Amino acid sequence: MPREERATSVLQNQLGLLLNDQGKLDEAGGLFREALEARRATLGDRHPRTLDSMNNLGMLLQDQGKLDEAGVLYREALEARRATLGDRHSDTLDSMNNLGTLLRAQGKLDEAGVLLREALEAQRATLGDRHPDTLTSIANLGLLLQYQGKLDEAGVLYREALEARRAM
């Protein structure tokens, strides 16, 4: 990818993130889509930067309530990250959490549970019990369990995450 194209897609993503933070979701979405298209064309579907663009656009679509569209991107990113980075890479685990929380929002609680548990187990094994990413995964699984009516199990996880955060 020529330097100018790399710089353009980086700036599109950065400005898209800023606009997203400002609540300008339509503008951000346009930039994220442009960056993703450019990266697919120049870097390919499995390049880490392309997958980052998929993730950014997926998060924005989820924020807009376009859950099915976000799910397509999250699934593609997860599949590619598993294939290229492995099941325990932090980017793969982020994709598992993203798709898991989306599935929870769609009411697909069993499917969400599989992903969220897998991500949490891998993070505990690779990052430890008190890493911020692990604590986020603990909270994500706790929320899923709460949605499933498993309040005692959810409470155990919430307490674990809270105690670890307080100890930081």
| pLDDT tens figures, 135-163 | 999 999 999 999 999 999 999 999 999 99
Q: Tell me: domain 88-167, CATH 3.40.50.970, correct?
A: no
**pLDDT, position 10:** 84
Average pLDDT over residues 79-102: 96
Share of the chain above pLDDT 90, in %: 88
Per-residue pLDDT for 1 more than 60? no
Helices (H) and strands (E) in the chain, counts: 8, 0
CATH code matching the domain that covers 1-85, chosen among 3.40.50.80, 3.40.1350.10, 3.30.1330.10, 1.25.40.10: 1.25.40.10
Average pLDDT over residues 50-55: 94
In the chain, where does the domain assigned CATH 1.25.40.10 lie?
1-85, 88-167
Per-residue pLDDT for 2 more than 90? no
Residue 65's pLDDT band (cuts 50, 70, 90): very high
Single pTM value for the model: 0.89
- Arithmetic mean of pLDDT over the chain: 93
Average pLDDT over residues 77-97: 95
pLDDT in tens, 17-45: 999 999 999 999 999 999 999 999 999 99
